[in-house]
C-alpha cells in the first residue's frame, strides 16, 4: 500500500505501516543485543536492560551524537520530532547504523490540542497507538511514585497531629513537625485537568487525612519525571529520589522523601521505568523512547540513559530537545550533557517558513483556527524580517561552540524564492543549510539533510558549557539571560533574592545547574515579544529547588504546571474500531 500524507491522516499512515513492522527481536538483533538484554512487550515493543548492555559493550562512546532543536515555535509547533525521525530515516537510507532517541508523549497533549509526539507524515515512530496510549507503563509508574510520596506526606501529618511523641516513638517515628503552609510537592495526573490545579484535601474527620490546601500538576512536570530523565542508572535514580524535598518543617528544615522513608518504595515502582522502550521508525530504524519532562520547568529531553545506550550501539544517534534552542538546546547543552558526559558532534536547527513569517509580524497562529492567507502565499518581506529569530538561534548554538545545520522543514506552500532567501541568510551567518521533505517522502526526502549532518559531524567543534558551576548562582542566571536570551539583565523580586541567598549559602545547592522556567513562544519571558526582541529585562518572581533532580529553577512569569483542556480537544476525534480493536483518530 502506498502511503500518501497528502491523502491520509497520520494515524492512517501509522496503521498501514504497522502491517510491515519489524519484530522486537529483529530490531534487537540489528542493534547487536543478546536475548537476555531485552524483554519483549508484545510483538514489536521491548524494554532494554541498559545495565547489562553497557556492562558487555562498555561505556565508551561509539556513535556520532546529533541534537535536533528549533527556532522559536508557533502554537502549531515546527516539526522537531518529525525532523528527528526524518533524519533517522535519511541516515538509514544512506546505509548508516542510526538510532533515534525521543521522549514519550504525555497523555495531556495527546488528548488535548497538540496531539501525540510521534512525528508526522512519513516520518513517525510506530506503532502510534502504543506510543500515545501508555506504551510500557513508564508514565503510570512515575504518577504512582509521585503520588505515593504525597500519600506518605499527608499520612504523616495526620498521625503527628493526632498522636503524641511517645505514640510516634513506639512505631519508630520521630516528629517532623511539617508546616502545612510550606508543602512543596503536589499530586500528579497525566491529563490536562485545570480543575485540579488548586484543591483542598483531608475534609471530614480526624481519620480522613490532614486538612490542607493542595493541588495537581501534570505528570510530566513532576520532579520524579525529571529525575528519571537525568539519572545515569538505577543507583543514581535511587539516590536522587531520596533527596526530593516534599515540604519544610515549622523551623525551616527540608522534609525529604528519605525522612518519610518512602524513597525506597518509590524506586521500587520505577525499576522497570528506568529501562528505555525500543520502538522503530516507519522505515524500520530503531528508536529508543524514554522519559518526557516538560521543557519549560525541567530539562525537556529524553533520558540520559537512552542517549548513552544509543551512543554505545549506533554509528549515528539522533536525539531531540524540547521547544526552541533558547530552552531545549540550552538545557541539553548546560544540563543534560553535564549529566551524560556526552557532547554533540552536530546540532540541527529546525525552521519553517510559517514560523519565520510569524516572527516577521504576520497575524498570530492559533491552534484550531484557519491560517491567515499570508502563511500560504509568498511574502519575502515578512520572511526576511522574521529571519532575525533564526539568526538569534544560530548565535545561541554557536555560543556553545558548535556551528548548526539549519534545516528548513518543507511545507508544500513554500515557494522556491522563500526557500532560497532562508538559505542565503543562514549560509551568510556561517551555518550549513538543507531543505528536508521528510513529511512527504520519508528518508528519501531527508537525504540532503542527512548528508549535511554527516559532513557537520566530521568537523571538529569547540563545545563548552556556558558557565562554570563554581560561579555564583546570581551571576549564572544573569549570564544566561544576557548571552542566550539576549536580554539586558534580570530583575529579582524579594522572595527570589531571599531564596537565592539561601541556595548560595547551602553546600548542597550552591553548585546545581540553573534551569530557567519561562514561556516558550519568545526568546524573552513575554510571548508577545516575537522575532529577536531587544531592550528587555527578565523578571524572576521565585526560585524553586528540585533537589532530587539537581536543579535550581528561576521562574520568569506565570507558569502553569497543570495545563488546561481546550474547548476542542483531540479526544473528541479519538475512537476505536470495535470490529478490529484498532484505535483511530490519533494525531
Kindly list the catalytic residues: 80, 82, 103, 114, 295, 323, 411, 439
Bridge partners for 349 per DSSP: 69, 406
In this structure, what DSSP letter does residue 379 have? -
Beta strands in 485-581 (DSSP E): 490-492, 538-540, 542-546, 551-555, 575-576
Coil, helix or strand at residue 492 = strand
Residues 6+ apart with CB under 8 A from 490: 477, 478, 481, 537, 538, 539, 540
CA distance 423 to 79: 18
CA atoms in the 13 A half-sphere facing the CB of 228: 35
**Pairing between strand 199-201 and 212-214?**
antiparallel
DSSP for residue 402: -
Place of cell 556551528: 403
Torsion of CA 335, 336, 341, 342, to 10 degrees: -130
Query: Which of 89, 25, 8 minimizes the C-alpha distance to 283?
Result: 89
Check if the beta carbon of residue 587 is closer than 8 Å to that of residue 116.
yes
Strand partners, 41: 45
DSSP 275-301: SPEEEEETTS-EEEE-----TTTS--B
* C-alpha cell of residue 91: 541516515
Antiparallel, parallel or unpaired: β 277-281 and 187-189: unpaired
Nearest residue to 11 (alpha-carbon basis) of 139, 125, 135, 112: 125
Helix (H), strand (E) at residue 269: helix 263-269
Can you spell out the DSSP letters for 68-118?
Answer: EEESS--TT---HHHHHHHHHHHHHHTT--EEEEEPPPPHHHHTSSS---S
Reading the block at residue 114, the C-alpha cell is 497538540
Q: Quick one: DSSP state of residue 62?
A: -
Determine the straight-line distance between the first and last CA of the chain, rounded to whole angstroms: 20
The answer for residues whose C-beta is within 8 angstroms of residue 395's C-beta and 6 or more apart is: none
Amino acid at each position: 500500500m502506498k502511503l500518501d500524507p497528502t491523502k491520509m491522516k497520520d494515524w492512517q499512515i501509522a496503521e498501514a505501516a504497522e502491517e510491515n513492522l519489524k519484530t522486537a527481536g529483529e530490531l534487537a538483533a540489528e542493534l547487536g543485543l543478546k536475548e537476555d538484554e531485552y524483554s519483549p512487550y508484545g510483538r514489536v515493543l521491548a524494554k532494554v536492560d541498559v545495565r547489562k548492555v553497557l556492562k558487555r559493550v562498555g561505556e565508551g562512546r561509539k556513535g556520532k551524537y546529533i541534537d535536533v532543536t528549533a527556532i522559536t515555535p508557533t502554537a502549531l509547533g515546527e516539526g522537531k520530532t518529525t525532523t528527528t525521525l526524518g533524519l533517522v530515516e535519511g541516515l538509514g537510507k544512506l546505509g548508516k547504523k542510526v538510532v533515534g532517541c525521543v521522549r514519550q508523549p504525555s497523555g495531556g497533549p495527546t488528548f488535548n490540542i497538540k496531539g501525540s509526539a510521534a512525528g508526522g507524515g512519513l516520518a513517525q515512530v510506530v506503532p502510534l497507538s502504543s506510543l500515545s496510549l501508555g506504551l510500557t507503563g513508564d508514565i503510570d509508574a512515575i504518577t504512582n511514585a509521585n503520588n505515593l510520596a504525597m500519600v506518605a506526606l499527608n499520612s504523616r501529618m495526620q498521625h503527628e497531629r493526632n498522636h503524641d511523641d511517645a505514640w510516634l516513638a513506639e512505631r519508630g517515628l520521630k516528629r517532623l513537625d511539617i508546616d502545612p503552609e510550606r508543602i512543596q510537592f503536589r499530586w500528579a495526573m497525566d491529563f490536562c485537568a485545570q480543575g485540579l490545579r488548586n484543591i483542598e484535601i483531608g475534609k471530614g474527620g480526624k481519620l480522613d487525612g490532614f486538612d490542607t490546601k493542595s493541588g495537581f500538576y501534570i505528570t510530566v512536570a513532576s520532579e520524579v519525571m525529571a529525575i528519571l530523565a537525568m539519572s545515569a542508572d538505577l543507583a543514581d535514580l535511587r539516590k536522587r529520589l531520596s533527596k526530593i524535598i516534599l515540604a519544610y518543617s515549622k523551623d525551616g528544615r527540608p522534609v525529604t522523601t528519605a525522612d518519610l522513608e518512602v524513597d525506597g518504595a518509590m524506586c521500587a515502582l520505577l525499576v522497570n521505568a528506568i529501562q528505555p522502550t525500543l520502538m522503530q521508525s516507519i522505515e524500520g530504524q530503531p528508536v529508543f523512547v524514554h522519559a518526557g519532562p516538560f521543557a519549560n520547568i525541567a530539562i525537556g529531553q529524553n533520558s540520559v540513559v537512552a542517549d548513552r545506550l544509543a551512543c554505545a550501539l549506533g554509528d549515528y544517534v539522533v536525539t531531540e530537545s524540547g521547544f526552541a534552542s533558547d530552552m531545549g538546546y540550552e538545557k541539553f547543552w548546560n544540563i543534560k550533557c553535564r549529566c551524560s558526559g556526552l557532547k554533540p558532534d552536530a546540532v540541527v536547527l529546525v525552521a519553517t517558513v510559517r514560523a519565520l513569517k510569524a516572527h516577521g509580524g504576520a497575524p498570530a497562529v492559533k491552534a484550531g483556527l484557519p491560517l491567515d492567507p499570508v502563511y500560504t502565499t509568498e511574502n519575502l518581506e515578512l520572511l526576511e524580517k522574521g529571519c532575525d529569530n533564526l539568526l538569534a538561534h544560530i548565535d545561541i548554538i554557536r555560543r556553545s561552540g558548535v556551528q548548526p545545520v539549519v534545516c528548513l522543514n518543507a511545507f508544500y506552500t513554500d515557494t522556491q524564492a522563500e526557500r532560497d532567501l532562508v538559505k542565503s541568510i543562514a549560509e551568510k551567518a556561517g551555518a550549513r543549510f538543507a531543505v528536508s521533505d521528510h513529511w512527504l517522502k520519508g528518508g528519501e526526502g531527508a537525504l540532503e539533510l542527512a548528508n549535511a549532518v554527516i559532513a557537520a559531524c566530521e568537523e571538529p567543534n569547540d563545545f563548552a558549557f556556558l558557565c562554570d558551576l563554581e560561579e555564583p548562582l546570581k551571576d549564572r542566571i544573569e549570564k544566561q539571560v544576557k548571552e542566550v536570551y539576549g536580554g539586558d539583565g534580570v530583575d529579582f523580586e524579594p522572595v527570589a533574592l531571599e531564596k537565592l541567598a539561601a541556595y548560595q549559602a547551602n553546600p548542597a545547592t550552591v553548585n546545581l545547574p540553573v534551569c530557567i522556567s519561562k514561556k516558550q513562544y519568545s526568546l524573552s519571558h513575554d510571548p508577545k515579544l516575537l522575532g529577536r526582541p531587544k531592550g528587555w529585562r527578565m523578571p524572576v518572581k521565585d526560585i524553586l529547588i528540585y533537589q532530587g533532580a539537581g536543579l535550581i529553577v528561576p521562574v520568569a512569569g506565570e507558569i502553569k504546571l497543570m495545563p488546561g483542556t481546550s474547548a476542542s480537544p483531540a479526544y473528541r476525534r479519538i475512537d476505536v474500531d470495535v470490529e478490529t480493536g484498532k484505535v483511530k483518530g490519533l494525531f
